[in-house]
Amino acid sequence: MVFKSRFYYNDGANEGGGGDSGEGSQSNENNDTPQIPEEIQRQLEEANQLKAELEELRAFRAANTKEPEKSAEEIAKEQEIEKVNFRKFAVENDYAKDEDFVQFETLQQKKDAELVFENYLKDFKDENPDITDEKELREAAEEDFNKTYKLTSDNEKAKEKGLAKLAKEAAEIRTPYSSKIEKAKGEYNTKKELASTYEKKFIPFTEEVKKSIPSKVVYSKMKDGETEVSFDIEVTEDDIKEVEEKFLKNHKTFYQFKEGKPDEVKSKLSAKIESYLIAKKRDEGNKKIADYFEGRGVEKGSTTGADSSFAMQQSSMRREAKVLTLQDSNDKMAQARARFN
């Protein structure tokens, strides 16, 4: 590829080879930096354009990519697994027995008229002992059954009432089994919903709370003269694990999260965790305070007697004691304060 030169030369050089000292010379001085050849510039622009188009295409695909649809066989398999899981749940938790499911499925498969007629036939046989032929008995029972429930009536309203009565009696036959299954189904769906909430929402929430636990917490703040001193305690990995077990991995926190607002629950939880850590680290915090004031006492000890009278020292001690009584239950720290003053 041949590129055109962007440099311009003056054929008519002045004496000494310096060239023309006029406008041409000035132009050369202003363009002493080589410029990108036009062909290269064009190729770079095209490359940038292609890159932008590629990024747009990827973004479009990401936004419009759908998960592959499941086949009929996959859907049927999932439904069968769900059915087995539900049945297992109901039996294990004493909501229903396996035979309850068998009976329920059998009753569900039968039509209302067929289901009610089974009991009707038994009663009809008891009421008509003179009919000994089974076929004749059944035909007579069916005729009586149709009349009782208006199934062959030409009166549509009467027929509707008969069908409603039939449906009611069929439901009563199914109820002892359907009620067990329905109760189990409700509990099963509740457990599934809770499990989904726990996995998809609560676990990320607890991880967020765990990450927000600081590496240090302020155990106490005290005055050293005019200076406020903060006493911090370290939060270790073992502390975090303990907090996780005590505050995050329990049903009480889960239900608070489920029923409340995440931000509010997190705020209250963080406050509880901080209070717990401070209480747990009481001895460590008190020791830090005692060590600090013990060191300050040694530092000031050489000049205390020379700079202040005994009465002034006692007065100062009383004034300081008002500030330092936050941890006065600790004997060691009290001794350190006395040495400090």
Residue type, 251: H
DSSP 244: I
228 vs 62 pLDDT, higher one = 228
pLDDT of the residue at 24: 45
pLDDT of the residue at 54: 78
Pair 217, 232: CB distance under 8 Å: yes
Strands 227-234 and 216-224: antiparallel
Q: In sequence order, what are the beta bridge partners of 220?
A: 231
pLDDT at 29 over 70: no
Helix axes 156-197, 72-92, angle to 10 degrees: 80
pLDDT of the residue at 62: 67
pLDDT at 25 over 60: no
pLDDT of the residue at 69: 81
Among 119-123, 209-213, 256-260, 334-338, which stretch is predicted with the lowest mean pLDDT?
334-338
Mean predicted lDDT score pLDDT of the chain: 78
**pLDDT-above-70 percentage for the chain:** 74
Q: Name the most confidently modeled range: 47-51, 64-68, 132-136, 197-201.
A: 132-136
CA distance 165 to 47: 79
Please give the distance of CA 117 from its chain centroid, rounded to a whole number: 54
4 vs 67 pLDDT, higher one = 67
Mean pLDDT of 162-171: 94
Mean pLDDT of 181-206: 91
DSSP string covering 48-109, please? HHHHHHHHHHHHHHHHH--PPPPPHHHHHHHHHHHHHHHHHHHHHTTS--HHHHHHHHHHHH
pTM: 0.50
pLDDT at 21 over 60: no
CA distance 101 to 82: 15
Residue type, 289: I
pLDDT of the residue at 130: 93
